């Protein structure tokens, strides 16, 4: 509430080269977006399409910070935040909190009629600062997802899970996550988006809640994704409930400049 997160994210940058030139979260994300666009050949318009999709989803979510749908054209006409990112392609600074009750299996069955099970979890952290790693690829997210999917015995996220909630604090990051999570082959994220698969009525919805672009409460953003997956699995998501109701979802959290650290959960309700 007191300040913009962009005023202090530079503290995550290296003290010798990054901080003196103002390399914070927004600047690092802009460099990442440019690197990904150039490496993938995807049009910049794809970022606006992600933002418009998620803002449309968020308009149906009472827990979202931003609840007004916007068009692709409105996103493209919004002011530049840090080239190539526009204002509506950047998450808002939101107030919020999230909590999760974790229990052993026997206790979970006692306290909830339909527990959500953590079937897999994976974490990875890239040791290199921006400028010392390939910003066009989310290496640590790929590693985290592989660990989570291996634990959950998931060979294909698209075929063996129903949807995903990801922490895309900047629009291009959702596109990058399609590839890092194995939802789309490398270089095919924009086509995956254009296919309509990630819309609420698509084959693999991504961020039916509106995602971080509709609400980014600091360090609670990732846990909010877990909460949104649980609401969907419990069939309590209200106006943004997916149909048919999913039984297995992927939740993603990230931290650090340009998604330096990533955490992936596979969550489900089917269990004998």
pLDDT (tens digit per residue) in 239-264:
999 999 999 999 999 999 999 999 99
What would the two tokens of residue 178 be?
Answer: 């399609």
Distance CA 33, CA 47 (A): 9
Half-sphere exposure (Cβ direction) of 121: Cα atoms closer than 13 Å:
4
Residue 208: closest CA among 81, 66, 70, 58? 58
Residue 148: closest CA among 226, 243, 258, 218? 226
Q: Is the pTM of this model over 0.85?
A: yes
What would the two tokens of residue 226 be?
Answer: 């877990």
State phi, psi for 38 to the nearest 5 degrees: -70, -40
Residue 24: closest CA among 262, 211, 260? 260
Residue 206: closest CA among 264, 142, 163? 163
Compute the mean pLDDT over every residue in the chain, rounded to the nearest whole number.
95
Q: Is the pLDDT of residue 2 over 80?
A: no
DSSP per position, 186-219: TT-HHHHHHTTTTSTTSSS-B-TT--GGG---GG
Region for 187 from its dihedrals, namely left if φ exceeds 0, alpha if ψ lies in -120 to 50, beta otherwise: left
What would the two tokens of residue 36 be?
Answer: 């990904």
Residue 206: closest CA among 49, 50, 12? 50
Q: Is the pLDDT of residue 5 over 90?
A: no
* Each residue's pLDDT tens digit, 148-187: 999 999 999 999 999 999 999 999 999 999 999 999 999 9
* Each residue's pLDDT tens digit, 35-81: 999 999 999 999 999 999 999 999 999 999 999 999 999 999 999 99
């Amino acid at each position: 509430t007191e300040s913009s997160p962009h005023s202090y994210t530079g503290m995550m940058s290296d003290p010798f080269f990054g901080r003196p030139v103002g390399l914070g979260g927004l600047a690092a994300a802009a460099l990442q977006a440019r690197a990904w666009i150039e490496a993938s050949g995807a049009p910049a318009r794809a970022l606006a399409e992600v933002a418009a999709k998620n803002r449309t989803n968020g308009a149906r979510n009472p827990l979202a910070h931003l609840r007004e749908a916007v068009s692709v054209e409105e996103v493209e006409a919004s002011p530049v935040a840090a080239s190539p990112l526009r204002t509506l392609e950047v998450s808002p600074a939101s107030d919020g909190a999230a909590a999760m009750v974790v229990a052993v299996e026997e206790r979970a069955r006692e306290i909830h009629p339909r527990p959500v099970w953590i079937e897999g979890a994976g974490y990875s952290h890239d040791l290199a600062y921006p400028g010392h790693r390939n910003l066009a690829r989310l290496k640590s997210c790929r590693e985290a997802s592989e660990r989570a999917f291996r634990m959950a015995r998931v060979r294909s996220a698209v075929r063996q899970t129903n949807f995903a909630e990801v922490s895309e604090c900047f629009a291009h990051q959702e596109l990058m996550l399609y590839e890092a999570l194995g939802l789309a082959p490398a270089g095919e994220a924009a086509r995956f988006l254009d296919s309509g698969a990630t819309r609420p009525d698509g084959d693999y919805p991504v961020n039916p809640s509106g995602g971080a672009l509709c609400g980014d409460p600091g360090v609670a953003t990732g846990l909010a994704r877990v909460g949104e997956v649980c609401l969907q699995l419990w069939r309590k998501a209200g106006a943004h409930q997916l149909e048919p109701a999913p039984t297995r979802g992927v939740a993603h959290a990230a931290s650090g400049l340009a998604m330096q650290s990533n955490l992936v959960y596979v969550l489900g309700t089917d269990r004998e």
